[in-house]
Amino acid sequence: MRMLEIEGNSSGWWGLIGLFGLLILIALGSVYYMEHNGHWVTGMSNQVVWGTPHVFAVFLIVAASGALNVASIASVFGKPMYKPLSPLSALLALALLAGGLAVLVLDLGRPDRLIVAMTHYNFKSIFAWNIYLYTGFFAIVGVYLWFLLERKMNKHSSKVGIFAFLWRLALTTGTGSIFGFLVARQAYDAAIMAPMFIVMSFAYGLAFYLLVLMALYSWTGRDLGDFVIDKLRGLLVVFIAGALYMAVVQHLTNLYATEHHAVERFILLEGGIYTTAFWIGQVLLGALFPIFLLLYPGTRNSRQALGLACLLVILGGLAQMYVTIIGGQAFPLVLFPGMEVSSSFFDGQVASYTPSTPEVGLGIGGIAITLLLVTVGVKFLKFTPETLGDEAMDPHYKAE
């Protein structure tokens, strides 16, 4: 199957480049504003030290692992239909990780201190482990992508693909373990965080991939058949249901343990914006409604409904990260179990947090970096097949 790069000379293509460039400039302006004035201009405080940029950053990093899933299905599980889809899958995975890490680095109070983190390692810290996992992901997926695109190396792509598959599982395990290892926070401190992040990554990454794939083939006037769409739609339903199942297990497990009753009451019933984000954002709009759109006979075959479902999964994922990251910090630390604590330092009180415009601007800039890298990448390298029509992809296709 012949792979093509896009021409990238139309006004629409340059318009996309301009839009993404503008969003990145706004993000850089947000960084300058926060660094010049100090982080007091954000919604963060001594209680909530990971704000909205971390929500976007962690979400993009988790989605990067899941975006590689399409390529993994071809290389690891030997499904030939997915092989033509693999190069774009690997490109999107690298772009998502680059966007997430860009937000993470720019959100540091002192970005120049990253050099210290890269040269002095505390191997008792999960953050030190993740530096290796992120850089290793770039290297391994980069080699994998080279093998996919280079005809002479293509015969070895499956071997590298298996290694990339295992590494991305390790990467998402490391990201989930950041929260699972934080015993001081009642909303974290759970072994289920690692596998839950892995399952969530499948849904987030595939939703991103489907949106990019449909937009790319629609805007370039190329054929994207129902056979490919139906396969990916079915996968997305399974992944969304799996992510919802893991969330249910997490909360049921916490409800079983008496020590977690207070934080569960906070998240599920009394948390205000966090409760709303959980039930409306994560559960209803991010899981149940997309599953309905993908399975209901009236919308099952609609690509507009599929696009809406993917967008809702992404927004629901951001809501889940908001509840997990910020809601987990807002709930007060349990300093003395079984006793009420109060002081002038807000001990025992729910921390207040309101996202500031610069924080949101920085987070959106991470998504813009991802999409800019993909847009430029498909112009200069052959990441996509000339056609993904049913006649080329469906082994049982019969011309009418």
Q: Are 56 and 366 in contact (CB under 8 A)?
A: yes
Q: Are 97 and 134 in contact (CB under 8 A)?
A: yes
Q: Are 20 and 95 in contact (CB under 8 A)?
A: no
pTM of the model: 0.93
Residue 123's contacts (CB-CB under 8 Å, 6 or more residues apart) are 129
- Which residue type, as a one-letter code, is found at position 10? S
Residue 17's contacts (CB-CB under 8 Å, 6 or more residues apart) are 372, 375, 376
User: Contacts from 158-162 at CB under 8 Å and sequence distance 24+?
Assistant: 158/75, 158/76, 158/78, 160/75, 161/71, 161/72, 161/74, 161/75, 161/76, 161/86, 162/75, 162/76
Q: Are 33 and 358 in contact (CB under 8 A)?
A: yes
Helices (H), the chain: 11-37, 52-67, 69-75, 86-106, 114-119, 126-149, 157-180, 193-219, 226-256, 261-265, 273-276, 289-295, 303-321, 328-330, 357-380, 390-393
Give me 98's structure tokens: 């680059």
Residue-level pLDDT at 277: 95
CA distance 230 to 300: 9
Q: Measure Cα distances from 209 to 75, 99, 313, 339, 374 in Å.
A: 17, 15, 12, 49, 11
Q: What angle do CA 97, 176, 204 make, to 5 degrees?
A: 50
Residues of the chain with pLDDT under 50: none
What 8-state DSSP symbol labels residue 224? B
Q: Are 248 and 242 in contact (CB under 8 A)?
A: no
Residue-level pLDDT at 323: 94
**Phi-psi region at 397: left, alpha or beta (left = phi > 0; alpha = psi -120 to 50):** beta
Q: Are 56 and 100 in contact (CB under 8 A)?
A: yes
CA distance 293 to 295: 6
What 8-state DSSP symbol labels residue 288? I
User: Contacts from 150-158 at CB under 8 Å and sequence distance 24+?
Assistant: 157/75, 157/86, 158/75, 158/76, 158/78
Three-class DSSP category at 12: helix
Q: What angle do CA 54, 212, 156 make, to 5 degrees?
A: 95
Q: Which domains does the chain have, with CATH numbers?
A: 3-243+359-393 (1.20.1630)
Residue-level pLDDT at 153: 86
Give me 269's structure tokens: 């019933």
Query: By CB neighbour count within 10 A (0-12 exposed, 13-18 middle, 19+ buried), where does 291 fall?
Result: middle
Residue-level pLDDT at 341: 62
CA distance 330 to 50: 10
